[in-house]
């Protein structure tokens, strides 16, 4: 594993594993960072910059139950890191399986794209919309 991959993976392992937020690492975020959240989530959309991220992030904190937020695996290849997360949905017994694709450039996050997966017989829209 090259040093870029190792550094990027270590950062994501620390941040997500310790349930920290991007705001806790302002020096690791590019001013032009783009965050893409699936449109079917209550906070779905495209956000540019840390200020834009901070505006929608309270909705994220309400949506997920972070006491049931489990980092499953982290994969990396150079400036691309993938974090697989099982995330509890607040006020339910349900959870989502997420994949965050985090892209770095020169040690700073430039893009975060969130993907999620349906569980057998439990499609995401049924979980989210009750």
What is the predicted pLDDT for the residue at 23?
86
92-70-79 Cα angle (round to 5)? 130
- Which CATH number fits the domain that encloses residue 65? 3.10.450.50
Residue 99's pLDDT band (boundaries 50, 70, 90)? very high
How many domains does one find in the chain? 1
Answer with the residue of higher pLDDT: 130 or 21: 21
CA distance 114 to 128: 16
Length of the chain as a residue count = 130
| Domain interval for residue 38 | 3-129
What is the predicted pLDDT for the residue at 129?
65
| Total-model pTM | 0.89
Beta bridge partners of 65: 88
């Amino acid at each position: 594993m090259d040093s870029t991959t190792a550094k990027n993976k270590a950062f994501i392992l620390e941040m997500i594993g310790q349930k920290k937020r991007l705001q806790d690492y302002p020096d690791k975020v590019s001013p032009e960072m783009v965050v893409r959240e699936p449109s079917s989530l209550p906070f779905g959309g495209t956000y540019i910059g840390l200020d834009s991220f901070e505006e929608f992030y309270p909705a994220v904190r309400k949506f997920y139950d972070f006491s049931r937020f489990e980092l499953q695996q982290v994969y990396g290849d150079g400036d691309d890191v993938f974090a697989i997360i099982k995330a509890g949905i607040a006020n339910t017994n349900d959870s989502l399986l997420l994949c965050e694709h985090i892209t770095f450039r020169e040690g700073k996050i430039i893009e975060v794209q969130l993907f999620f997966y349906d569980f057998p017989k439990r499609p995401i829209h049924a979980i989210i919309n009750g």
